[in-house]
Amino acid sequence: MTNHSDAPSGIRIRPWPVKLACVVVAFAVVELVGYVPAGTYGTGILRSAVLFVLVILGTRVFRGADEEVAPPRPLWRMTGGVQSGIVLGAVFGLEAILSAAGFVGITFSPGIRDETPELPALLVNAVLSAILAYLYFRSSRRIVLARREELIALARKAR
C-alpha cells in the first residue's frame, strides 16, 4: 500500500513561462467572452465575472518557488511571495479605482450616460477588482506576519 499524502491534490504550476502562457490564455478567454451575446448589460458583467473566477483559479494552481507543491495552498494565500501580492493588489486596486471613476463620471454626465450600455459592468468590475485587491494585499500582510512569527519562535528557541 502506498502513501499518497505527498502527492499533489490537483494541478500545480510553478515554471514562470507556463504561468505566463496561462495568463495569456485567460485574457484570451475573457476577450472571447466579450463576443457572447448576453444582452445590453450582460457582456461586460460576464467578462468581469469570468476574469474574477480565472484569477481565483490561478491563485489555487500557481505556486511560488519557495512553496511546497503537494499540500493545498491555504485559502487566504493568493501568491507565493509578498512582493507579487503587493504588485497584483496594486494592479487590481488601480483597476477598481479607474472603473469606479468611470462609473461616477458616466453617471453624472447625462449625455454620455444615455450612450453607454456598460454602466452596470463598470460598477461590477470596480467591486470585483476591489475584492481582488483586498485579497492580494491581505495575503501579503499575512505572509509577512507568518514569517515574523517564525522568526520570533526561532529566536525564542535559540535562547
- Collapsing DSSP states into helix, strand and coil, what is residue 13? strand
Handedness of CA 106, 107, 109, 114 (dihedral sign): positive
C-alpha distance across the termini of the chain, in Å: 43
**126 is a domain residue:** yes
Number of Cβ atoms within 10 Å of the Cβ of 154 = 9
The C-alpha angle 156, 154, 5, rounded to 5 degrees, equals 135
Query: Can you give the residue range of the structural domain that contains 143?
Result: 16-158
Confidence of residue 6 (pLDDT cuts 50, 70, 90): low
Q: DSSP class of residue 1?
A: -
Burial of 3 (0-12, 13-18, 19+ CB in 10 A): exposed
DSSP string, 44-99: HHHHHHHHHHHHHHHHHHB--TTS-SSSPPPTT--SSSHHHHHHHHHHHHHHHHHH
Q: Residue 119 above 60 pLDDT? A: yes
According to the model, what pLDDT value does residue 116 have? 62
Q: Which of 16-20, 84-88, 116-120, 128-132 has the lowest mean pLDDT?
A: 116-120
**4 is a domain residue:** no
Confidence of residue 56 (pLDDT cuts 50, 70, 90): very high
**53 is a domain residue:** yes
Number of alpha carbons in the 13 Å side-chain half-sphere of residue 135: 17
Q: In this structure, what C-alpha cell is assigned to residue 17? A: 513561462
According to the model, what pLDDT value does residue 1 have? 40
**6 is a domain residue:** no
Q: Cα-flanking dihedrals φ and ψ of residue 13, to 5°?
A: -120, 120
Question: pLDDT tens digits, residue range 77-110?
Answer: 999 899 999 999 999 999 999 999 988 877 777 6
Number of domain units in the chain: 1
**115 is a domain residue:** yes
pTM comes to: 0.84
**9 is a domain residue:** no
**8 is a domain residue:** no
Q: Rounded CA gap, 43 and 50, in Å? A: 10
Average pLDDT of the chain, as a whole number: 86
**101 is a domain residue:** yes
Question: pLDDT tens digits, residue range 12-34?
Answer: 888 889 999 999 999 999 999 98
Place of cell 472603473: 99
Confidence of residue 2 (pLDDT cuts 50, 70, 90): very low
